[in-house]
Amino acid sequence: VFSPMSENAIFGRTSIYIKTLFLFVILQIPTALVINIAGLCILRFLGGFFASPCLATGGASVADVVKFWNLPVGLAAWSLGAVCGPRFGPFFGSILTVKASWRCTFWFMCIISGFSFVMLGFTLPETFGITLLYRKAK
């Protein structure tokens, strides 16, 4: 849903990243505090839904920034991060769950994604050329 919106000149990629990451951060709080399995399933679904643009649109952002002849290297570097997160996430999550509780996993995700949100909010430039031209013409 959000990746096609990032191809629109009005929205661009950066606004989609920032808005969905913010919603993901906010959703981690009720997920850590939920008291029933139905609420946990719904909140995890919504969290995954709002976290998906980073994986779904990341390759397009790399293609916007990297020159054509370096694109395979850029996409490989981005893909490494996209693969390592789902690989190492359960490992570190299980350590947190065993040492503390399952709720600590969501607080940890809230802290890490909140830090990422703050850093990206201040430093992530718009990479989509059509959006840059649209904003310049506006």
For the segment 52-67, the average pLDDT, to the nearest whole number, is 86
Residue 86 belongs to domain with CATH number: 1.20.1250.20
- Quick: pLDDT tens for 91-132: 999 999 999 999 999 999 999 999 999 998 888 877 777 777
The answer on pLDDT for 77 being more than 80 is yes
For the segment 4-25, the average pLDDT, to the nearest whole number, is 85
Cα(92)–Cα(109) distance, integer angstroms:
11
User: Domain limits at 35?
Assistant: 2-137
61 vs 37, higher pLDDT: 37
Q: State residue 6's pLDDT score.
A: 74
How many distinct structural domains can be found in the chain?
Answer: 1
For the segment 42-53, the average pLDDT, to the nearest whole number, is 95
Q: For the chain, how many residues are written? A: 138
Contact between residue 75 and residue 59 where contact means Cβ atoms under 8 Å apart: yes
Q: State residue 23's pLDDT score.
A: 97
Q: State residue 63's pLDDT score.
A: 84
Cα(108)–Cα(113) distance, integer angstroms:
8
Q: State residue 109's pLDDT score.
A: 94
Q: Which amino acid is at 91?
A: F
Residue 35 binned pLDDT confidence (cut-offs 50, 70, 90): very high
The answer on pLDDT for 9 being more than 80 is no
Give the angle subtended at the CA of 46 by the CAs of 42 and 52, to the nearest 5°.
145
- Write down the mean pLDDT value for the chain: 89
117 vs 61, higher pLDDT: 117
